[in-house]
Each structure stands twice: as C-alpha cells, then as structure tokens.
Structure 1
Amino acid sequence: MSLEFSSSDDTPAFECVIAALDDDSCREIIRVLEEPMTVHDIAEATDHPLSTTYRKLDLLTDAGLVEETAGVRHGSHRTARYVANLDRISIGLDDDNELCADIDRSSGLGIWSNTQRES
C-alpha cells in the first residue's frame, strides 16, 4: 500500500502532513490559531521559545495547515501573522485502495488574508 496525497500536485506530501500532525507542539499551535497571530503571540500562548515556534510554523506551513497572512505594520516594519487554514483532515483509502488525505480548507480564511494594522 503506497501513501498518496489525494489532491492536486501543488499540495503537500502526505508524509509532511502526518509528521506535522504527529507533533504535539504543532497541534498546540493549531489549537491557539483561532485568529491571525504573530510568532511572538504564538510563542507566548503556547509557552514555547521563539526558535521552536518558528520551526513548528515552518513545518505547519510546509504541510499546508497554517498560512502566513499579510503583516501587521509597525512603522516601516511588517510583522507576519499566521492562521490555521483547515476545517477538517480526512484520511482514508482511495478507489485504488491507497492511503490518501484530503484537507478541507477554512472557508473564512479570506477575511484574514489582507489583515493589516497601521500604527
């Protein structure tokens, strides 16, 4: 039985999604991302060091489970914000009896995609 991601070719590899979901810290980050947050806010909410938070956000972004949104403007500097962009992940067997995963994307992500705050 082979592992296959059942969506289009530009989707993350099945193994990448499973690795992110198998990580306690990644799951904790997904839980706190009810709205866009900066890396500093995520680190504070999860009580993780910034270096760990950046690493886990890279894993989650590569897996397609978290998305970087437009930055928050602080003077001339922008701070990236992240938001979870999934409603459900389904893992099952396809018609060829191969393991596959489908990620149902959040329908409400669009409202966060252009979020900016001027200071």
Structure 2
Amino acid sequence: MAREQSAAEPTELGSILDALDDADARDIIRTLDEPMTASEISDTCEIPLSTTYRKLDLLTDADLLLEGTEIRSDGHHATTYEVAFEEVKILLTEERRLSVDIARTERSPDKNLADIWTAVRKET
C-alpha cells in the first residue's frame, strides 16, 4: 500500500520513509557491509535481479546508497553500491513538522574519485 505524502512533508523525508518501509530495501542495506554489484546483491539477498534494480533505484533516490564504479581490467566496469549513512533521525521541529537528519558515512579520497568517475560515465 502506497503511503500518501502530506503537503507539509518534505520530498526527501517521503522518499527516505518509503525506502526504509520496504522489506527488500532494508535487507539490501543490511547486506551491504562492503560495495557490491547489483548481481552480487541479488544473489546474496535472493531477490530477482529486476526487483533488485528497482530497490537500488529506490535507495539511491533517497540518498541512502552511493553508486560507485568497480574498474575492471577487461574494460567492462561495473556499478557498485554501498550504504551512504550511519544513522537516520526523524525529528519533530518546533513548528510541529517532521524533518530528516542523516548522519553520512565519512568518504575517503579514493571513494570521492570513484564518484567523479561514475558521474563522468553517466554523462558519456
């Protein structure tokens, strides 16, 4: 059942709640203790690959997963996914509105370079 978003609820909060409300998406988050490809996630979580891609889109759109690139010597690079947060807090503001606070995972320079490479790949 789809959850309706109130007019006062920020889009970011809605997408995060939708992602965390999904059992398969939570299973993917629990599985990702290191970067993995969609195929590896599908095999590990025992979720069909087409469903895995939909869940990965849900999680990346909510900024809960980061996409990276696994550079392979054969030139067939693969997209990898990793958890992008330490914790998610849903807060009630003084105005009685919900807001979201995400404690992000610390990024190494190598990870930042991989992110740049991923962005360049998407543009080409």
TM range (shorter): 0.7 to 0.9
The residue correspondences of 1:44-83 to structure 2 (distance < 5 A) are 44-83=43-82
Offset at residue 43 of structure 1 (A): 0.5
Partner in structure 2 of residue 7 of structure 1: none
The residue correspondences of 1:13-52 to structure 2 (distance < 5 A) are 13-52=12-51
Alignment length (residue pairs): 107
Cα RMSD (Å): 1.9
- Normalised TM-score (structure 2): 0.78
CA contact (8 A) 1:69 1:112 kept: no
- SS of aligned partner of 2:91: strand
Seen in structure 2, the aligned counterparts of structure 1 residues 81 and 63 have a Cα distance that, compared at 3 Å, is same
- SS of aligned partner of 1:96: coil
Percentage of matched positions with identical amino acids: 37
What is the CA–CA distance in structure 1 between the aligned matches of 2:14 and 2:109, rounded to whole Å?
30
Higher helix residue share: 2
Q: Which 4+ residue blocks in structure 1 deviate beyond 2 angstroms?
A: 109-112
Partner in structure 2 of residue 9 of structure 1: none
User: Can you give the 5+ residue segments of structure 1 that lack an aligned partner in the other structure?
Assistant: 5-11
What is the CA–CA distance in structure 2 between the aligned matches of 1:81 and 1:106, rounded to whole Å?
16
